[in-house]
């Protein structure tokens, strides 16, 4: 069984079956897709028990984050950024748990500062402003990733060697 399907415990199906089902439900224009809150909540709830299992097992959690990073890297336009973001979060977690100490403390402080900036509602552009409120958050994270790219790549290599 393909590892991708194995991680989420579903039966493997062909790409053609997925495409046919998608087109039947939503048509061929992806911009026309919309979901209700209840549909999204139901989809998320289906993974809550699995999430608890991941949180209990650090190895499974790390594997999940690696898979997330790989998938995010494939997003058109922002894939590299999303892959680096998930890797940065894994690096912070591994450092905090004492598993990875090869990154300089300045790198860790910079990464955590970037995350703290993003979660703070008091920043350059208030988050509540529609359309632009998160622009500064994205810019800070992208800048942090750019400045710490070497450390992120070294962490990736370390993780693969484990």
Distance, in Å, from the CA atom of 105 to the CA atom of 87, rounded to the nearest integer, reads 17
What is the domain extent for residue 65?
Answer: 34-161
Assessment of whether the complete model's pTM goes beyond 0.85: no
Asked if residue 18 is part of any domain, the answer here is: no
Helix H segments across the chain?
Answer: 3-8, 15-26, 37-45, 48-56, 58-72, 79-96, 105-119, 135-147, 149-161
Asked if residue 11 is part of any domain, the answer here is: no
Give the count of domains, the chain.
Answer: 1
pLDDT in 10s for each residue of the chain, 162 residues: 344 444 444 455 666 666 666 667 666 665 566 667 787 778 777 888 888 888 788 788 878 877 777 776 776 667 788 889 999 999 999 999 999 999 999 999 999 999 888 888 777 887 777 778 778 888 888 899 999 999 999 999 999 898
Asked if residue 14 is part of any domain, the answer here is: no
Asked if residue 130 is part of any domain, the answer here is: yes
Asked if residue 132 is part of any domain, the answer here is: yes
């Amino acid at each position: 069984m393909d590892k991708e399907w194995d991680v989420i415990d579903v039966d493997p199906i062909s790409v053609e079956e997925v495409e046919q089902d998608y087109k039947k439900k939503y048509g061929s224009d992806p911009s026309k897709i919309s979901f209700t809150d209840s549909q999204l909540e139901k989809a998320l709830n289906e993974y809550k028990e699995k999430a608890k299992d991941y949180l209990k097992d650090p190895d499974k959690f790390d594997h999940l984050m690696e898979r997330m990073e790989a998938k995010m890297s494939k997003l058109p336009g922002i894939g590299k950024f999303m892959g680096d973001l998930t890797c940065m979060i894994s690096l912070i977690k591994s450092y905090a748990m004492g598993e990875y100490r090869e990154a300089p403390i300045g790198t860790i402080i910079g990464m955590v500062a970037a995350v703290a900036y993003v979660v703070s509602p008091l920043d350059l552009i208030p988050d509540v402003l529609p359309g632009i409120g998160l622009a500064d958050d994205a810019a800070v994270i992208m800048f942090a990733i750019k400045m710490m790219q070497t450390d992120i790549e070294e962490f990736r290599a370390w993780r693969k060697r484990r």
